């Protein structure tokens, strides 16, 4: 009798839609629950000023649910302590292909950038291979992909490294790097576009952001950014994919307004935004 009941239960669980419904029970139906770093400016802040906060507000309004945040520093253990412990249901920004989460379709493609003064001898540099950068001090976040290209072009010997893993509540390597650039302590800054672009637009009018579109060889400088959900939550992923598709123009507008450099899907040129 128990074997029959077990078999019946398995058969019911495998019926179309039932497994998805069981998974969906892990996702709140009363709130749009977001996992986020409270001090990851310009992406997410507890004050709600980051561009990821604005994207969360947009999607929550489409779902007709309030936004609820589970805050945790974006460092080792972030996914486990938020999404993994079912405190929240979505990470707004996650690089495509990361094994810790299930990725939605990407909602933006962005790129590492070279940040330079608007005037001066380096003002028209567009690639790390430019010989005018030789012998200059460049700032870079330690361990970030552009370091390989800098090494290939002989720029690492004099580079100034800024820490990758910090508590953003008390440290901001990107802001420190840009202040050092304005002070003349470094000649250029190499930063991930969604961080550097908004900071320059908001706080550094004498600097310019140059997308690194012309680097040769690996690693690539552009990355597609998705939302992250729990593994196996296919129904929720499909719902978010639909939201992204229907609201892509509005998402693009939020990112563009923030100063994020947006590329086409192939990472070859600036994205043409729909009107």
How many domains is the chain built from? 2
Going through the chain in order, the beta strands assigned E by DSSP cover 32-36, 39-40, 44-45, 67-71, 90-95, 102-103, 108-117, 138-141, 160-162, 188-192, 207-211, 222-229
pLDDT for the residue numbered 264: 97
203 and 256 together in one domain = no
Strand partners, 33: 68
149 and 202 together in one domain = yes
Confidence (pTM) = 0.89
Report the C-alpha gap between 172 and 189 in whole angstroms. 14
The whole domain housing 92 covers 32-109+222-263
Give per-10-residue mean pLDDT for the chain (275 aa): 39 38 69 96 97 98 98 91 96 88 97 98 98 98 96 97 82 94 98 98 98 96 97 95 98 98 96 85
Decide if 105 contacts 244 (C-beta within 8 A).
Answer: yes
pLDDT for the residue numbered 25: 53
- Whether the CA torsion 64, 65, 71, 76 is positive or negative: it is negative
202 and 241 together in one domain = no
pLDDT for the residue numbered 76: 83
Q: Which of 271, 254, 253, 273 is nearest to 262 (CA)?
A: 271
122 and 94 together in one domain = no
Give the domain CATH number at 127: 3.40.190.10
151 and 163 together in one domain = yes
Provide CB contacts within 8 A for 156, sequence distance 6+: 147, 150
129 and 196 together in one domain = yes
186 and 243 together in one domain = no
pLDDT for the residue numbered 75: 82
Tokens describing residue 159: 């580079």
Q: Is 67 contained in some domain?
A: yes
pLDDT for the residue numbered 1: 38
pLDDT for the residue numbered 6: 40
């Amino acid at each position: 009798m128990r074997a029959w009941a077990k078999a019946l239960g398995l058969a019911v669980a495998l019926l179309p839609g039932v497994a998805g419904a069981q998974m969906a029970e892990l996702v709140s139906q009363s709130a749009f629950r977001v996992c986020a770093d409270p001090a990851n400016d310009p992406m997410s802040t507890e004050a709600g000023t980051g561009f990821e906060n604005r994207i969360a507000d947009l999607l929550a309004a489409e779902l007709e649910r309030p936004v609820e945040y589970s805050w945790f520093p974006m460092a080792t253990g972030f996914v486990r302590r938020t999404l993994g412990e079912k405190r929240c249901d979505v990470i707004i920004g996650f690089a495509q292909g990361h094994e810790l989460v299930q990725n939605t379709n990407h909602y933006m493609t962005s790129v590492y950038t070279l940040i330079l003064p608007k005037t001066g001898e380096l003002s028209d540099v567009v690639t790390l291979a430019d010989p005018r950068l030789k012998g200059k001090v460049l700032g870079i976040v330690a361990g970030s992909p552009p370091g390989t290209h800098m090494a290939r072009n002989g720029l690492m010997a004099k580079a100034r490294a800024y820490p990758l893993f910090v508590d953003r509540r008390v440290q901001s390597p990107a802001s420190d790097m840009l202040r050092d650039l304005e002070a003349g302590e470094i000649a250029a800054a190499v930063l991930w576009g969604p961080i550097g672009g908004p900071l320059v637009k908001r706080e550094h009018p004498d600097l310019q952001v140059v997308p690194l579109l012309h680097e040769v060889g690996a690693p690539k400088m552009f990355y597609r950014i998705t939302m992250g959900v729990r593994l196996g939550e296919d129904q929720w992923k499909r719902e978010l994919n639909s939201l992204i598709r229907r609201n892509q123009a509005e998402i693009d507008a939020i990112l563009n307004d923030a100063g994020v450099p947006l590329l086409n899907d192939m990472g070859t040129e600036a994205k043409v935004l729909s009107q």
